[in-house]
Structure 1
Amino acid sequence: MTDQPTAAAVDQPPARSRGRGRRPADEVRGDVLRAVGELLLAEGIADLTFERVARVAGVSKTTLYKWWPSRGALALDGYFHAVEQTLAFPDTGDIRVDLRDQLRAFVHLMTATPAGRILTELIGQAQTDQDLAVAYRTLYSSERRRLAAERLRAAQEAGQVRDDVDVQVVVDQLWGAVYHRLLVPDEPVTESFADALVSNLLLGIADPRPASR
Structure 2
Amino acid sequence: MTKQPVEQIVFERLRLAILHRELAPGTQLVELNISTKMNVSRTPVRNAIQKLSAQGLVDIIPNRGAFVVNPTMDEVIQAYTLRRELETMAAKLAIEAFIPADFEAMKSCIVNEKIALENKDINAYLTANKEFHTNITSKCGNRFLNEFIGTLLDKTDIYLILFDSYFDEGPFSAKSPEEHTLIMEALKIGSMTEVDSLLHEHFEQAIVSLSSKIKEFKNVEDLF
Q: TM-score, structure 2 length as denominator?
A: 0.34
Q: Which structure has the larger Rg over C-alpha atoms? A: 1
Greater helix proportion: 2
Greater strand proportion: 2
